Amino acid sequence: AQSVAQPEDQVNVAEGNPLTVKCTYSVSGNPYLFWYVQYPNRGLQFLLKYITGDNLVKGSYGFEAEFNKSQTSFHLKKPSALVSDSALYFCAVRAGGSQGNLIFGKGTKLSVKP
């Protein structure tokens, strides 16, 4: 079955420190991977995607993600966290190739303290 897992419910980081939000996936065929961010009482905002090509993908707001095929992971990273990065982060994968529906992980709450 196609699935995506975010093993951490919450990640706490001090402002200025690097952050990593973890994501692993299980799909048949090539994975189409996405990261979204959700601020309180808002819809989700697209951050970045991996379809093919370079394993390091750069996205919005200084975020990047590293695709690792052997570990079936797609971790979200940022070199220096901001308090304003505090939000709920979702990893997602297209199930069944490019035409399948988008399956989301449970989400990871990122808290950045000053």
Partner 1 sequence: KAGVTQTPRYLIKTRGQQVTLSCSPISGHRSVSWYQQTPGQGLQFLFEYFSETQRNKGNFPGRFSGRQFSNSRSEMNVSTLELGDSALYLCASSLEVGVYGYTFGSGTRLTVV
Contact between 99 and partner 1 per CB under 8 A: yes
Q: How many other CB atoms are there within 10 angstroms of residue 22's CB atom?
A: 17
Task: Give CA–CA dist 96/38, Å, rounded.
Answer: 25
Please identify, using beta-carbon distances, which residue of 44 and 81 lies nearer to partner 1. Answer: 44
Q: Which of 76, 13, 82 is nearest to 47 (CA)?
A: 76
Q: Which of 41, 53, 70, 114 binds partner 1 (CB under 8 A)?
A: 41
Contact between 45 and partner 1 per CB under 8 A: yes
Contact between 51 and partner 1 per CB under 8 A: yes
Contact between 103 and partner 1 per CB under 8 A: yes
Q: Which of 25, 63, 67, 90 binds partner 1 (CB under 8 A)?
A: 90
Using CA atoms, how far residue 5 sits from 84, 85, 107, in Å, is 25, 21, 9
Using CA atoms, how far residue 52 sits from 12, 38, 68, in Å, is 31, 25, 12
Contact between 43 and partner 1 per CB under 8 A: yes
Q: Which residues bind partner 1 (CB under 8 A)?
A: 32, 34, 36, 41-46, 49, 51, 90, 94, 98-107
